[in-house]
Structure 1
């Protein structure tokens, strides 16, 4: 079972909406560094190395990103 923190899930949602780190930071009210901090464990949990990989795994294997 995959367990993401609330913030990791929010970051993943905005990645899927094609937001940059700067764009995500602006929406979530934090710094780009904070976004980068959330990306590493997110990628590790999903077993990917890129934003595209994160979205693809989420959509194809987990059927998530419904909001």
Structure 2
């Protein structure tokens, strides 16, 4: 099984060219989602705090059953 280093390099370059746009789009989507979440938390701190307390209580109840 002969492996040509040039073929491997070409394949890696092609893979990088295909993946970079997808990674950039995923990064932009995550940044957008983060911005929206932060804005929601800043606009509704009480609601978010109550939600966090409720989730913590539920997780605590589930964890205490074991």
Tell whether the structures are fold-level matches, with TM greater than 0.5: no
Q: Scaled by the length of structure 2, what TM-score is found? A: 0.27
Q: Which has the higher helix share?
A: 2
Q: Which has the higher contact order (CA 8 A, sep 6+)?
A: 1
Q: Scaled by the length of structure 1, what TM-score is found? A: 0.26
